Structure 1
Amino acid sequence: MAPPSIPRMVNVFVRISDNERDECISTIQRTTLEARSSAFRAFLSQAVPNEAERDVVLPSGTPRALRHVLNTIKWAANLLVVTFNEVVGIWEVCNMINLEPSRAFERVAAHIIGHVSHNPATAEIVNTVHQAMRPSKVSFDAEKERPWRAMIHQMVWDEVHGNTPPAEKAAIQTIVGANPDLRQAVDTKTAGLRAKKDAYDAQSAANRARIAAERNLAGQRRRGKQGRGQRGRGQHAGNEEDGRWAQAREVRAGTREWTPQLGWYVDRLRK
């Protein structure tokens, strides 16, 4: 009987530049790692004398995020049970190792887009997303820029509509001013959203004026109808009064019979 094969293992380290040392992140089966990361698969395809145990040193990355992603690969765990900043760190790791299948990476990006699109922009969100996903950082990949562009849209939307508190606004402006690529994108987005808001405000004002004019005209028509009704009733009453006097004169002339309704008028004609 052939002896059981010993699984080949990979020790993953990350370089900590501040301390000039390599920190061990995880030890994981090579087949598992290669199945989920094309970057690791390409690197490990390069033969070395000892294939039983390989060491891989990643040049950058947040240890906690790296550990989370590798443990997710190892144990098939949930990738997103973490804070927003940690999710961005996880996104960076997924991008660096080309995590597979791609839908797992896409879920992380969608989580970030959802967060920045449904929460007020803050200096922390702006800086975190910009540092990780600015176009130059992701090789100008339009798909990978989507969280960055969603963040800019929300930040500018809040600014244009006056939703950003003064202190937060100042902190955001400091970050924008320190990053030319971010400032250019913000200026372009601001011009577009400002023009849309101005057009919307103008249309809203025109609608309000039109509605007010229509209400005023309707009021004038109602008042006119009421006035005509009152004049009509007065004219009708006057016609009835003239008719009674005429009938009273006929009674006096003997051409009409006397009635109680005409008695008062007949008496007045006798005086």
Structure 2
Amino acid sequence: MNEERIRAASTTINNALDGRPYTPVKKVEIGGAAPAAFQFVLGCIDEHEKTKRRPGDKLRIKAHDQPIAKTTAIYEAIEALGIKPSQPHIANHIIGYVAHNTLTPNELATIHRAFVGRRETNKAWRTLVHQTAYYIVYLQDTPEEADALQRAVEPYPQLRHAIEEKMINELLPKKAFEDETRADVKADLAVSKGGRRFVPGRTGVGKSQDLRFEGETSPRW
């Protein structure tokens, strides 16, 4: 691959090669991501240089059409390589996926490993904790899915503790309050059934009148 292109796009490689004497082939060892993910990112850099229409066109790595585990590996490779310009849309895509999809055990573990060390600067891990706890508390998973997720988090005490803490301190009390409120509303509706209708509120002015309930028993709404 063209050394000049790669060095221009990767801070890590540029720093590693800086000051080295010229050789036809140079070797740089970089960890922190899967080899296939490194190849994908370097391939994107090379392809961008070949296809860009104007000299000022900026590199934008496209990974949203990949499976989420692979997208996460690509994110790790981008971070390890120190790609310029930064690619925040990759992390944003992962966050959006976590927020709107039930994760498989493999996806959950992959995203945890990638973001647990970045939890203070990137909200992907915090979103992972919240959504996993939410699905458990609100029974969005089947019993089989919930059991599989529980087994998946067992090897990661930090993740398991964070999920349990989110459930106990926030989501379970919230759900209990919601259930109680829902039960009260149903009881009020049952009491007022048959003698309840909407009428303009007496405090209304002109056309913008409030609506109030009129009936045997007014609901506590």
Q: TM-score, normalised by structure 1?
A: 0.62
Dislocated runs of 4+, deviation >3 Å: 216-219
Task: Return the offset for 1:35.
Answer: 2.5
Asked if the contact 1:113/1:147 (under 8 Å) is kept, the reply is yes
Match of 1:263 in 2: none
Match of 1:79 among 39, 59, 62: 62
Residues 190-201 of structure 1: pairs in structure 2 closer than 5 A: 190-191=167-168, 192-201=170-179
Task: Return the offset for 1:203.
Answer: 1.5
CA RMSD in angstroms comes to: 2.4
Between 109-118 and 209-218, the greater mean CA deviation after superposition: 209-218
Match of 1:150 in 2: 127
Query: 2:4, 2:188 → 1: CA distance?
Result: 70
Query: 1:175, 1:83 → 2: CA distance?
Result: 19
1:111 is the counterpart of 2:111: no
User: Structure 1: which amino acid aligns with 2:98?
Assistant: V
Asked if the contact 1:91/1:108 (under 8 Å) is kept, the reply is yes
Asked if the contact 1:116/1:125 (under 8 Å) is kept, the reply is no
**Alignment partner of 1:134: what SS?**
helix
Higher RCO structure, 1 or 2 (CA under 8 Å, sep 6+): 2
Task: Return the offset for 1:113.
Answer: 1.1
Asked if the contact 1:69/1:90 (under 8 Å) is kept, the reply is yes
The 1:151–1:164 alpha-carbon spacing in structure 2 relative to 1, beyond 3 Å, is: same
Query: 1:37, 1:222 → 2: CA distance?
Result: 71
Between 85-94 and 126-135, the greater mean CA deviation after superposition: 126-135
Query: 1:176, 1:201 → 2: CA distance?
Result: 28
Query: 2:191, 2:80 → 1: CA distance?
Result: 62
Query: 1:216, 1:202 → 2: CA distance?
Result: 24
User: Structure 2: which amino acid aligns with 1:40?
Assistant: I
1:95 is the counterpart of 2:72: no
Q: Which runs of 5+ in 2 are unaligned?
A: 49-59, 198-213, 217-221
Query: 1:89, 1:123 → 2: CA distance?
Result: 16
User: How big is each residue's C-alpha offset from its partner over 1:153-209, in whole Å with a ceiling of 9 and x where there is no partner?
Assistant: 221111101121222222211222221111111111112111111111112222222
User: Structure 2: which amino acid aligns with 1:203?
Assistant: T
Match of 1:269 in 2: none
Match of 2:192 in 1: 214
**Alignment partner of 2:28: what SS?**
strand
Query: 2:121, 2:5 → 1: CA distance?
Result: 27
Asked if the contact 1:121/1:164 (under 8 Å) is kept, the reply is no
The 1:149–1:49 alpha-carbon spacing in structure 2 relative to 1, beyond 3 Å, is: same
| Structure index of larger Rg | 1
The 1:218–1:40 alpha-carbon spacing in structure 2 relative to 1, beyond 3 Å, is: same
Asked if the contact 1:123/1:175 (under 8 Å) is kept, the reply is yes
User: Structure 2: which amino acid aligns with 1:189?
Assistant: K
Between Structure 1 and Structure 2, which shows a larger proportion of strand residues?
1
1:174 is the counterpart of 2:158: no
Asked if the contact 2:32/2:76 (under 8 Å) is kept, the reply is no
Task: Return the offset for 1:41.
Answer: 2.6
Task: Return the offset for 1:122.
Answer: 2.3
Q: TM-score, normalised by structure 2?
A: 0.75
Q: Give the paired residue count.
A: 187
Match of 2:113 in 1: 131
Match of 2:209 in 1: none
Between Structure 1 and Structure 2, which shows a larger proportion of helix residues?
1
Match of 1:39 in 2: 12
Match of 2:208 in 1: none
User: How big is each residue's C-alpha offset from its partner over 1:104-154, in whole Å with a ceiling of 9 and x where there is no partner?
Assistant: 2x111111111111111321221111122113xx3x5x233x222212222
Query: 2:215, 2:150 → 1: CA distance?
Result: 56
